Each structure stands twice: as structure tokens, then as C-alpha cells.
């Protein structure tokens, strides 16, 4: 699943080709196709932004397009008439402006709504601080981690909760925990505020590096069975979480115990 830095780079790639240009054509397809997509025709694109793991496109008529790519979605940009790299049947949303065609393929979430409704949007309004936003509120993210309902939750699961902080995915979570020498299975309530703040800051820094360079550090992620670059112990992997189990990679030598204690 794309993480916040990937969405930031996607938005940065689309922005120069869309912003300030009127929409010449728009169409939607696939299951749950966006209704009344013709409402954006003639409107000018005013912004293309990432919000956590969401990509939003704003129009000057007050409408907003939100996409969430999940595991398989992606945005492409083409020249008019250029051959698409994926079959047209997989296009969920197509936006044409002068000189460019932006196509969203395979995204399970594509919706068009009034910008004024964003504060009431069931997903966007519930997001925690966006770690790629300017002046992100680290203290607010820690406060959300400290919610009583999360005290017994393993920190590896809590960091993926977009209601706590927006943008972190599984790779960034694993790398931040390794850099902080913290086990993914440590309960949130067992960690002090300084450690929680450091984890949030590490997540922010990794995402910013990824947004700027397209690269993230990989010390443990997808490195199970190899030596830890810090202490030499063998990196392990186990699945974590019940609703949507994710792969947790950690070093038992310098991060501590795994799921069995």
C-alpha cells in the first residue's frame, strides 16, 4: 500500500500538469463509478495534494476529488493520444486538461464531493496529524497514541492507525521502530512520552526523505533471515494485527522480544 511519501510524490508529479488548467473532459469507470462526474467539466484545477495516504484534487467550483489507492491503485499522466500502460478498463477516473491526461487506475476509493463537506467527511475528518504537513503537531500525535483505548495496543499496530497520525505505512513503521530500538509488540502504555515522540519524529523524517528522494532506509524491512546492521542478530518476521495482519520485521537482539515474549 502506498505510504504518505509516495502520495506526496504522486501529487508533486501531477501538480504542474493539472493546476491552473480547465477540465476539458472527465469520466469515471469501474464498480462504484463516481456519479455526476460531468460537474467538473469546465472547472479549473486549483490544487493537487496528498493528505496522509489520500490524494485530493481541488477545483475552483468547490468540488474535490479524493482517491485512496490501497494496494494496487496508481495515478498516471499521459500526453493526449499516448498509449496507456494499463488497459482502459482498469481506469477508475480520467481527467483531461490541455496537454495532459491524468488517469487513476485500480483505486478502490474514488469519490467526488463538495470541499465544504471535508470537515464532516468520515475518513478525512478522522485523520490524525499528517506527518508530511508543514508544522505537523507531534504533541497531538502523542496525545492520540496516549488514548486509554490504545494503552494495551502493540506500538506496531498503533503507528499504522491513520486516526492517530496520517501517512505511515508498514515499511515506515518497521524502520522507525528499528531506529528507535523498540519492539513492535511493546504496548503503547509501556512507552514513555519521549519514546513516543521519537517514533513519531522518526516516521516524519523517513517520510520526508522518501518524498524528497523517492528512497527510504531499509535496515529490517524485507530483510528477515539477514543480520541486523546494528548488532548482527538475525532479523525476524511475524504477522501482527488481527483485522488486517501486517508483516512486522524486527531484530530480537536490539529491539527486544517478539510476539511470544
Residues designated as active site: 2-3, 53, 246
3-state helix, strand, coil in the chain (%, to 5): 30, 25, 45
One DSSP character per residue, 35-87 reads: TTGGGGTTPBEEEEEEETTEEEEEETTSEEEEEE-TTT-EEEEE-TTPPPSS-
What angle do helix axes 193-213 and 170-179 make, rounded to 10 degrees? 130
Report which secondary-structure segment, H or E, holds 100: strand 100-105
Q: Is 82 exposed, middle or buried (0-12, 13-18, 19+ CB in 10 A)?
A: exposed
Helix (H, G, I), strand (E, B) or coil at 160: coil
**65: phi then psi, degrees, rounded to nearest 5:** -105, 125
C-alpha cell at 253: 537482539
Nearest CA to 157 out of 252, 244, 257 is that of 244
Amino acid at each position: 500500500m502506498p505510504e504518505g511519501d509516495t502520495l506526496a510524490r504522486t501529487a508533486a508529479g501531477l501538480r504542474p500538469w493539472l493546476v491552473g488548467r480547465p477540465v476539458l473532459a472527465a469520466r469515471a469507470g469501474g464498480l462504484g463509478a463516481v456519479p455526476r462526474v460531468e460537474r467538473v467539466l469546465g472547472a479549473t484545477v486549483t490544487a493537487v495534494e496528498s493528505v496522509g495516504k489520500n490524494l485530493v484534487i481541488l477545483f475552483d467550483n468547490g468540488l474535490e476529488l479524493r482517491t485512496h489507492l490501497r494496494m494496487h491503485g496508481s495515478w498516471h499522466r499521459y500526453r493526449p493520444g499516448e498509449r496507456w500502460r494499463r488497459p482502459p478498463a482498469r481506469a477508475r477516473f480520467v481527467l483531461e486538461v490541455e496537454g495532459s491526461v491524468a488517469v487513476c487506475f485500480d483505486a478502490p476509493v474514488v469519490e467526488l464531493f463538495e470541499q465544504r463537506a471535508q470537515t464532516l467527511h468520515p475518513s478525512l475528518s478522522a485523520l490524525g496529524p499528517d506527518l508530511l504537513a508543514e508544522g505537523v503537531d507531534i504533541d497531538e500525535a502523542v496525545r492520540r497514541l496516549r488514548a486509554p483505548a490504545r494503552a494495551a495496543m502493540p506500538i506496531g499496530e498503533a503507528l499504522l492507525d491513520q486516526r492517530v497520525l496520517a501517512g505511515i505505512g508498514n515499511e515506515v513503521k518497521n524502520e522507525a521502530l528499528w531506529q528507535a530500538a523498540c519492539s513492535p509488540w511493546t504496548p503503547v502504555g509501556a512507552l514513555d512520552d519521549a519514546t513516543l515522540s521519537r517514533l513519531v519524529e522518526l516516521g516524519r523524517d523517513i517520510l520526508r526523505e522518501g518524498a524528497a528522494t523517492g528512497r527510504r532506509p531499509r535496515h529490517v524491512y524485507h530483510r528477515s533471515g539477514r543480520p541486523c546492521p546494528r548488532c548482527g542478530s538475525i532479523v525476524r518476521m511475524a504477522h501482527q494485527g488481527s483485522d488486517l495482519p501486517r508483516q512486522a520485521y524486527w531484530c530480537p537482539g536490539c529491539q527486544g522480544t517478539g510476539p511470544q515474549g
